[in-house]
Chain A
């Protein structure tokens, strides 16, 4: 069996196809899942997570430092238990606080970390003590109306 021009064309076709796949994998998409090996796990409990979803980014000072791994409902405290994976390159103090924030007016929700001043760093499996829930629009409007009504009655 000899090599033919046909083989060259098919070879070129296969190489081009694989190059297109690599282009889709590296340039169009990104393997943005944080590996288990170079990250540590932190748990935070919220009374209301709003529209937070698994794989949402965890940001600190606007920089993505990790991702939300899983969201569970804790029947012991009737709270949401959010597990997130944070990149090992970014150690955080033990008294770091977590808040659920929204990017833009209608954007996706993410977890914002604000570093504290403790000298002890977070270890894998630690729980964040200070958390701030997601803002629920209905509650906000309810509070506003309630405040207005009170204002009216005192006058």
Chain B
């Protein structure tokens, strides 16, 4: 009984390390074979349509609502200290620094990451990838790399759109609905938000999240057992792993970027 458990544990550990090594080699192969993704940029643009453009609606709508909720909740709290004018700072800083990149990345992982895994997993299950290899077409260069770069390019754009919509939502609720002074809303926001330290760091975060999510999604799809069950399991793992990776990476990046600030 105990021996079985120990054997199981060891087996799982070895499998985990094995997969980790394979994932690293896979990511390196994707980077090495990225030439086609840029030479035939049409391929990447096609994938940007599926990962970026089709994620727009969910990103824009959730950004607007997150901003509106921030406006309402922030006003409630700030009002007790008589500093409603700082609402602009609260909405803008929390969106640009944290919520924009992180929530957009979580939505991107569940909207686009799962689709990538399912697509590639199914391509593998129906032996389309093997067929490509038979025709001397490298599936990594033709199928995987364009999706990788499409995700990496789309993610910061989506995060920026999320933050912009959020600020707009906060403005709608704070200024138009509740009646915070419009001038001080924007002026205080502008004096507190710095381009390099806040906006640019948010963009760097979203690029890192984009790399992490698409790499995990592509690998899970490529590594999925070629059965219906295997593809469904891989899709679930993509969403869980990439969401956890985004949150963990966010902590590390925040510790690097905003330590020693203020």
What residues make up the interface of A, taking CB atoms closer than 8 Å to B? 1, 6-7, 9-10, 12-14, 16-21, 23-25, 27-33, 53
Contacts and interface: CB of A to CB of B under 8 A. Distances in A.
Interface string B42-78: 1001101100110010000000000000000000000
What size tier do the contact residues of chain B reach? 20 to 34
13 contacts: A6-B45, A7-B45, A12-B53, A18-B157, A20-B165, A21-B160, A23-B167, A28-B92, A28-B193, A29-B92, A29-B194, A33-B194, A33-B196
B128 interface: no
Majority SS of interface residues in chain B?
Answer: helix
B195 A29 contact: yes
Given A9-B53, A13-B53, A28-B167, 8 more contacts: A9-B49, A13-B48, A13-B52, A20-B161, A27-B186, A29-B190, A29-B193, A30-B194
A6 B50 CA distance: 10
B45 A30 contact: no
A25 B199 contact: yes
Given A20-B157, A29-B198, A32-B191, A6 B96 contact: no
Contacts of A53: 262
Given A23-B164, A24-B164, A30 B158 contact: no
B96 A28 contact: yes
A13 B56 contact: yes
Contacts of A29: 92, 96, 190, 193-195, 198-199
A62 B17 CA distance: 62
A10 B199 contact: no
B122 to A, nearest CB: 22
A30 B53 contact: no
B242 interface: no
A84 B196 CA distance: 20
A117 B25 CA distance: 71
B160 A28 contact: no
B209 to A, nearest CB: 15
Interface string B199-241: 1001100000000000000000000000000000000000000
A17 B160 contact: yes
Given A1-B42, A13-B53, A13-B56, A28 B199 contact: yes
Interface in B161-178: 161, 163-165, 167
B46 A6 contact: yes
B189 A28 contact: yes
A19 B160 CA distance: 9
A53 B197 CA distance: 15
B156 A17 contact: yes
Contacts of B158: 17
